[in-house]
């Protein structure tokens, strides 16, 4: 399990980030200050660091060069309430892998984390399987019975979300929140995409739970 250090001084924000990371099968450790961050780094190793720049004991942007020396293999995603392009560019130039400006949707943060991990090759060859269905996460490809299936970005994202939690019944609201995080769509679009997916993977692979939503069939 990949472990990520969350450095964020607002407890509610930190808790939300950790909840979403854990729902995606990441292990997380949360701290609220620069000092606590360095203590955590003394005791444990992390595949990634999510770093809020404005912390009670200083501006964490000043810590990025030292972090890059100390955690060369870890990714670094910075969070900033500032909208200064200069600050964002400077953060990237001195070692950050990506940034998000507050406020942000937690699903966008998760998508950024996964994208960084794929770029660094940490997700290379990672795959999900359910019966005869297989998703190659790094290549963003799907197969069923060893045969390639063409999946759109949204179709792939929906299947990835469900295959990561194969025993779960997903409500339409949960699927919308996971794949259309900006509220740009409705329950109806979920049904449309599920019908499209059924045509590609077989109608028996995807089960409609009346009055609730969808789940994968039992293997």
Number of neighbouring beta carbons within 10 Å of residue 141: 15
Asked whether the predicted pLDDT for residue 87 surpasses 80, the reply is no
Please, are residues 100 and 110 in contact by the beta-carbon 8 Å criterion? no
Task: Return d(Cα 144, Cα 7) in angstroms, integer.
Answer: 40
Task: Please say whether the structural domain 127-216 has been given the CATH code 3.30.1330.10.
Answer: no
Asked whether the predicted pLDDT for residue 124 surpasses 60, the reply is no
Q: Got the DSSP string for the chain?
A: --EEEEE-S-HHHHHHHHHHHHHTT-EEEEE-SHHHHHHHHHH---SEEEEESEETTEEGGGGHHHHHHH-TTSEEEEEES---HHHHHHHHHTT-SEEEESS--HHHHHHHHHHHHHHTTTTTT-EEEETTEEEETTTTEEEETTEEE---HHHHHHHHHHHTSTTPPEEHHHHHHHHSTTS-S-HHHHHHHHHHHHHHH-TTTEEEETTTEEEEPP-
Distances (CA, A) of 64 to 46, 70, 119, 130: 15, 10, 20, 41
Q: What is the pTM of this model?
A: 0.61
pLDDT single digits (tens) 143-161: 999 899 999 988 998 999 8
With bands split at pLDDT 50, 70 and 90, how would you rate the model's confidence at 219?
low
| Candidate ranges 22-36, 129-143, 166-180; pick with highest mean pLDDT | 22-36
Task: Return d(Cα 101, Cα 94) in angstroms, integer.
Answer: 18
Q: How do the domains of the chain map onto residue ranges? A: 3-119, 127-216
Number of neighbouring beta carbons within 10 Å of residue 157: 19
Residue 181 has a pLDDT of 63
Asked whether the predicted pLDDT for residue 120 surpasses 90, the reply is no
Task: Return d(Cα 161, Cα 174) in angstroms, integer.
Answer: 10
Indicate the fold that domain 3-119 takes in CATH. Answer: Rossmann fold (3.40.50)
Task: Return d(Cα 162, Cα 166) in angstroms, integer.
Answer: 6
Residue 19 has a pLDDT of 93
Task: Return d(Cα 114, Cα 129) in angstroms, integer.
Answer: 18
Residue 177 has a pLDDT of 82
Orientation angle between helical segments 172-179 and 187-201, nearest 10 degrees: 90
User: What sign for the dihedral angle of Cα 171, 190, 136, 217?
Assistant: positive
């Amino acid at each position: 399990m990949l472990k990520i250090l969350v450095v964020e001084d607002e407890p509610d924000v930190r808790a939300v980030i950790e909840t979403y990371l854990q729902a995606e099968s990441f292990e997380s450790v949360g701290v609220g200050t620069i000092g606590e961050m360095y203590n955590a780094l003394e005791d444990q190793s992390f595949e990634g660091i999510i770093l809020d720049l404005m912390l009670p004991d200083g501006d964490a942007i000043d810590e990025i060069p030292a972090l890059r020396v100390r955690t060369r293999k870890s990714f670094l995603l910075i969070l900033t309430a500032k909208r200064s392009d200069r600050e964002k560019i400077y953060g990237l130039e001195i070692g950050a892998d990506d940034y998000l400006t507050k406020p942000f949707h937690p699903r966008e943060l998760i998508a950024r984390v996964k994208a960084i991990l794929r770029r660094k090759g940490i997700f290379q060859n990672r795959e999900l399987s359910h019966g005869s269905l297989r998703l190659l996460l790094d290549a963003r490809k799907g197969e069923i019975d060893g045969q390639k299936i063409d999946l759109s970005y949204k179709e792939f994202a929906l299947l990835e979300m469900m295959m990561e939690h194969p025993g779960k019944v997903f409500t339409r609201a949960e699927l919308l929140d996971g794949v259309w995080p900006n509220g740009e769509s409705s329950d109806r679009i979920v049904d449309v995409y599920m019908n499209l997916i059924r045509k590609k993977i077989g109608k028996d692979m995807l089960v409609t739970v009346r009055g609730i939503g969808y789940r994968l069939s039992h293997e």
